[in-house]
Chain A
Amino acid sequence: MKLTRLFIDQALTGKAGVSDGIADEIAAIAEKTGLTPEPVADPAQVYDTINQADEPIGFAKQVLFITANKGAIIRACPGTSHYTCCDYTILHTGTFCTMDCSYCILQAYFHPPVLQYFAGLSTLTSALQPVFSGNDLLRIGTGEYTDSLIWEPVTPMPAFLVDQFSTQDRAVLELKTKTVNVSSLLEKNPQGKTILAWSVNTPEVIRAEERGTASLTARLETAKKCAAKGYRLAFHFDPLIIYQGCGPAYETVIETIFTHVDPKDVVWISLGTFRFMPQLKSVIQTRFPDSVIPFGEFILGLDNKMRYFKPQRIRLYQRLAAKLKETAPGVFAYYCMEDQEVWEKTFGFFPGKQGELAHLLNQAAVEKCGLDHRLL
C-alpha cells in the first residue's frame, strides 16, 4: 500500500525534537516516502481525517502519523485468559500495517486504526538499557501491534535495534514480518541476538487473504539470506486457516521452509489457528467480501474470542506437530494461546506451570542466540 499522507505530531518539531535527533529521523522518513509532512497540533486531526474516509481501515494504511510513544515502550504481551501464554515482551515502536490481511486483528483492535511510527531512537535506547543490564532473560518483539519490517524501507529503526541488541546477552530481539524488507539489516552484524521471524502460510492463503505481502518463496529466500548473515530465524504458523486440503498444504510449507533454511538456525516455530474478537467478523465480511475464512466452524472460546471447534484444531496440530518432529526435531515448537488438552494431545506434554513455556523458549534463545545461560 502506497503512503499518500504524512502527518507529524507538532510537538516533535520543536527544539527538543532537534536535540534528540528526531528532526533528522522525520526528515529521512519524509525523503524516503516522498511526502510533505503535515504538522498537526492534535492527534484528533489525524483520527478525523481517517474516520471521514469512505473506507477508514483501508485509508488508514495510506496515512502515516509520526508521533511520540506516550505510553509504555516496553510492555508485557496482553495474552489471554484460560490459554497458555509465552510471556512475550513487546517493544512498542508503532501501530498498524501497510499490508492488508483479511484476518488481521488490528483492523478491529484500534478505533480507528492509525499507522503510527513512534519517533525517537534515543527513547528506545533508554527503555532498553535496564533490560540489557538486568538479570532476566527476555524475548522482545516489535511485531505485536504492527509488522516489524514494514518500517525498514522508510525508517532507521529496525537496523538501529539490531545494533542495540547485538552488544548484550540478556535479551533477544524478534522482528516478525510478512515482508522481505531486510536491505539495511543485511549490512549489520546481529551477533545472533536478532531473530528474524516470518509469519508463514500456505500459498493459497497468502494469495487469497494476505494482500500486499511477499510470497512464501520470497519470504523463505530472504530468510535464507538473513541466516547467512548471522541472523537467527523463527517461523510463525499463525493464523493457521482450516480449509479443505489444508493439512497437506501446511505440511508442504514445513517441508519448503527446511529446504531453504537449516533447522539449526531456527530458534522456534509457533502454531496458532485463526482466532479473533467477534467484532472482526463483520470487518472481514465488509472489507473482504470474497473471503470465506469467517465461515469456518468457530465457537466462542473461553477468552471470548472465536476459535475453531477444538477437534478441528487438534487434528491439524497433530498433523503439523508430527511433520515438525520428522523434519526439524531440534527446533522448539509451541502454541500461541492453546490449552492443556491441545498441548497434550498433540505435543504429548503441557507446560502448565507458571512461566514454564517462557522458560522453554528462553532455553531455546540461550542455545541458539547466545544469551547468558546463567540467567535461565
Chain B
Amino acid sequence: MTQYQPIAISDIDLSDQTYRVTRAPEDLSALTLSISAQGMIIPLKVIEKAQQRGRGYTLVSGFRRIEAARSLGQSQVRCQIYPAGEAAACARMAVAENAFCRDLGPGELARAVVLVSRHMDAAALAEHSLQIFNTRLNLKFVETLIFLGRLNESIFHLMDSGQLAIKAARVLATMPEQDAQTMLGLFSCVKASSGKQMEIFTWAREICAREKIRLDQLLNDSQIRAALDPNKSNQDLGAAANRVRAVLYARRFPQLEAARTRATGLVRDLGLPRTMRMTLPENFESMVYSLLVSFTSPEDYAKSLEVLTRLAAHPAFHQLLDRQGPFK
C-alpha cells in the first residue's frame, strides 16, 4: 500500500539517482517560482530503502521539484511512499511519468531502459515498451541500450549532450568493451554531428585494422592528443572534433589528402581573383576541372578574359591539369 505523508528532505537520500531518468536540471528558476507561489501540486514519489524502513528513502520521481524546494529553504515535502518491495513498479512509474509527458532524449531513453531492465528481461521490456516508454522499442535496440548502460554511466550524459548519437552508440555496442571505453573517452572530448561521429568510428577502426594496431594506441597517438589538447586556447568541442577528424582522415587516406593539399596549394598559387572559383575533380578521379567566373559588366568580363589568358600560361595551372602537381 502506498501512503502520502510529509517527509523531511534530509530523510531522502539525494545522492541515490537510481530512478533518475531526466537530465540534470539546468535552470530551475521558473519551477522554483511556481512552487513558491502555489506549493508543490503533485507530491513526490519515494521508495523506502530496503534496510532502513521508515527512515531512509530513495527518490523515484520529482528530482527537479525537490531541488527547487530545497532552494526555497523547505525542509519537508509531501511524498507518496512505496514499500521497498515495489522497486519494479517504481522503475516503470519513474519512466512512464516522463515518457508520457514528452519525448525522452536519447540519453534519457537509454537511462530509462537500463532502469527498467533491472527488473524485467530485455524481451519482456521490448514487448511492453509501448506502455512504459510511450514508444515501441525492438529487442535489438533494447539489448544495445542495456549493453551501453553496463559499459559506463557517462554514456548517458554524452547522449544527453549530443556528443554521442544513437547511431554511434549502436556501433559502440558492437565493439569489444575496452575499445568501446576508449571511444567513449574520445567522445567525451569532442562534439560532432551523427554523420561525423560515424566517420570517426569508421576511420579509426579501419586505420587500426590496416595498421594492425589497437584502438587505444591510435587514439593515444601524439597527433590525436594534440588535436584534443585541453590547453588549446579554443576549447570548443566542435573544433576539437574537426581537428580529430582531420588527423584521422589524413591517416586513413594519406595519398588522397596529400594530393588535395598540393592541389589546393597550386590553386592558391594561381592567385585567382574573388570573381573566379576553381573546382577540382572529386577525388581526382575524372579529369574535368571547372572554373566559375562571375562578372557584372562587359568591362568585368573583359578583365576576366585577361586573367584567363594569363592563367593558361601559369606553371601551377599546368601542374594541376597534367596532374604532376597533385599526384607527385
A joins B in a complex: yes
Q: Which residues of A contact B (CB under 8 A)?
A: 82, 292, 294-295, 297, 299-302, 307, 309-312, 314, 339-341
Q: Which segment of B60-68, B110-118, B253-261, B292-300 sits at the interface?
A: B253-261
- In angstroms, Cα B263 to Cα A309, docked, is 15
Given contacts A302-B285, A309-B253, A340-B287, A295 and B327 within 8 Å (CB-CB): no
Q: Is B28 an interface residue (CB 8 A)?
A: no
Given contacts A311-B327, A312-B255, A299 and B210 within 8 Å (CB-CB): no
Q: What are 9 contact pairs spanning A and B, CB under 8 A? A: A297-B252, A299-B256, A300-B285, A301-B285, A310-B285, A311-B323, A311-B327, A314-B327, A339-B287
Across-interface contacts of B254 in A (CB, < 8 A)? 297
Select B256's contact among A294, A302, A309, A340, beta carbons within 8 Å. Answer: A309
Across-interface contacts of B327 in A (CB, < 8 A)? 310-311, 314
- In angstroms, Cα B285 to Cα A299, docked, is 8
Closest CB of chain A to B35's CB: distance in Å? 53
* CB-CB nearest in chain A for B256: A309
- Chain B residues 252-287 with CB under 8 Å of chain A are 252-256, 259, 282-287
Closest CB of chain A to B205's CB: distance in Å? 9
Select A292's contact among B210, B256, B285, beta carbons within 8 Å. Answer: B210
Q: Is B221 an interface residue (CB 8 A)?
A: no
Closest CB of chain A to B318's CB: distance in Å? 15
Per CB-CB distance, the 9 closest pairs between chain A and chain B, nearest first, are: A299-B283, A295-B210, A311-B327, A295-B206, A309-B256, A295-B209, A297-B253, A309-B255, A292-B210
Across-interface contacts of A294 in B (CB, < 8 A)? 206
Given contacts A299-B283, A302-B286, A292 and B209 within 8 Å (CB-CB): yes
**Contact assessment for A297 and B255 in the assembled complex, using a CB-CB cutoff below 8 Å:** yes
| Binary per-residue interface labels of chain B (168-211) against chain A in the complex, 1 for a CB within 8 Å, 0 otherwise | 00000000000000000000000000000000000000110110
Closest CB of chain A to B313's CB: distance in Å? 23
- In angstroms, Cα B253 to Cα A295, docked, is 10
Select A309's contact among B206, B210, B283, B323, beta carbons within 8 Å. Answer: B283
- In angstroms, Cα B256 to Cα A339, docked, is 19
Select A310's contact among B206, B207, B210, B284, beta carbons within 8 Å. Answer: B284
**Contact assessment for B287 and A300 in the assembled complex, using a CB-CB cutoff below 8 Å:** no
Number of A-B contacts (CB under 8 A): 46
**Contact assessment for A300 and B255 in the assembled complex, using a CB-CB cutoff below 8 Å:** no
- In angstroms, Cα B206 to Cα A339, docked, is 28
Given contacts A297-B254, A297-B256, A307 and B285 within 8 Å (CB-CB): yes
Closest CB of chain A to B123's CB: distance in Å? 20
| Binary per-residue interface labels of chain B (202-238) against chain A in the complex, 1 for a CB within 8 Å, 0 otherwise | 0000110110000000000000000000000000000
* CB-CB nearest in chain B for A340: B287
* CB-CB nearest in chain A for B206: A295
| Residue from A300, A309, A312, A339 whose CB has the most chain B CB atoms within 10 Å | A309
- In angstroms, Cα B254 to Cα A340, docked, is 25
**Contact assessment for A309 and B284 in the assembled complex, using a CB-CB cutoff below 8 Å:** yes
- Chain B residues 150-179 with CB under 8 Å of chain A are none
**Contact assessment for B259 and A311 in the assembled complex, using a CB-CB cutoff below 8 Å:** yes
- In angstroms, Cα B323 to Cα A309, docked, is 13
Across-interface contacts of A341 in B (CB, < 8 A)? 287, 323
- In angstroms, Cα B255 to Cα A297, docked, is 8
Closest CB of chain B to A359's CB: distance in Å? 24
Across-interface contacts of A295 in B (CB, < 8 A)? 206-207, 209-210
Closest CB of chain B to A38's CB: distance in Å? 34
Across-interface contacts of B259 in A (CB, < 8 A)? 309, 311
* CB-CB nearest in chain B for A308: B255
Across-interface contacts of A82 in B (CB, < 8 A)? 286
Closest CB of chain A to B290's CB: distance in Å? 15
Across-interface contacts of B252 in A (CB, < 8 A)? 297
Closest CB of chain A to B132's CB: distance in Å? 32
Closest CB of chain B to A345's CB: distance in Å? 8
- In angstroms, Cα B282 to Cα A301, docked, is 9
Select B283's contact among A292, A300, A314, beta carbons within 8 Å. Answer: A300
* CB-CB nearest in chain B for A303: B285
Closest CB of chain B to A124's CB: distance in Å? 39
Across-interface contacts of A297 in B (CB, < 8 A)? 252-256
Closest CB of chain A to B286's CB: distance in Å? 6
* CB-CB nearest in chain A for B203: A295
Across-interface contacts of B323 in A (CB, < 8 A)? 311, 341
- In angstroms, Cα B170 to Cα A235, docked, is 45
- In angstroms, Cα B253 to Cα A312, docked, is 12
Across-interface contacts of A340 in B (CB, < 8 A)? 287
Told that A309-B283, A339-B286 touch, could you supply 17 new A-B pairs with CB distance under 8 A? A82-B286, A292-B209, A294-B206, A295-B206, A297-B252, A297-B256, A300-B283, A300-B285, A302-B285, A302-B286, A307-B285, A309-B255, A309-B259, A310-B285, A310-B327, A311-B323, A312-B255
Across-interface contacts of A302 in B (CB, < 8 A)? 285-286
Closest CB of chain A to B305's CB: distance in Å? 29
- In angstroms, Cα B209 to Cα A82, docked, is 32
* CB-CB nearest in chain A for B287: A341
- In angstroms, Cα B255 to Cα A311, docked, is 8
* CB-CB nearest in chain A for B253: A297
Closest CB of chain A to B143's CB: distance in Å? 18
- In angstroms, Cα B203 to Cα A294, docked, is 12
Across-interface contacts of B210 in A (CB, < 8 A)? 292, 295
- In angstroms, Cα B253 to Cα A300, docked, is 13
- In angstroms, Cα B255 to Cα A341, docked, is 18
- In angstroms, Cα B321 to Cα A59, docked, is 50
- In angstroms, Cα B286 to Cα A339, docked, is 9
- In angstroms, Cα B31 to Cα A189, docked, is 94
Across-interface contacts of A311 in B (CB, < 8 A)? 255, 259, 284, 323, 327
Closest CB of chain B to A199's CB: distance in Å? 24
| Residue from A299, A307, A340 whose CB has the most chain B CB atoms within 10 Å | A299
* CB-CB nearest in chain A for B286: A302
Across-interface contacts of A301 in B (CB, < 8 A)? 285
Closest CB of chain A to B184's CB: distance in Å? 22
* CB-CB nearest in chain A for B259: A311
* CB-CB nearest in chain B for A293: B210
Closest CB of chain A to B327's CB: distance in Å? 4
- In angstroms, Cα B287 to Cα A82, docked, is 11
- In angstroms, Cα B252 to Cα A199, docked, is 29
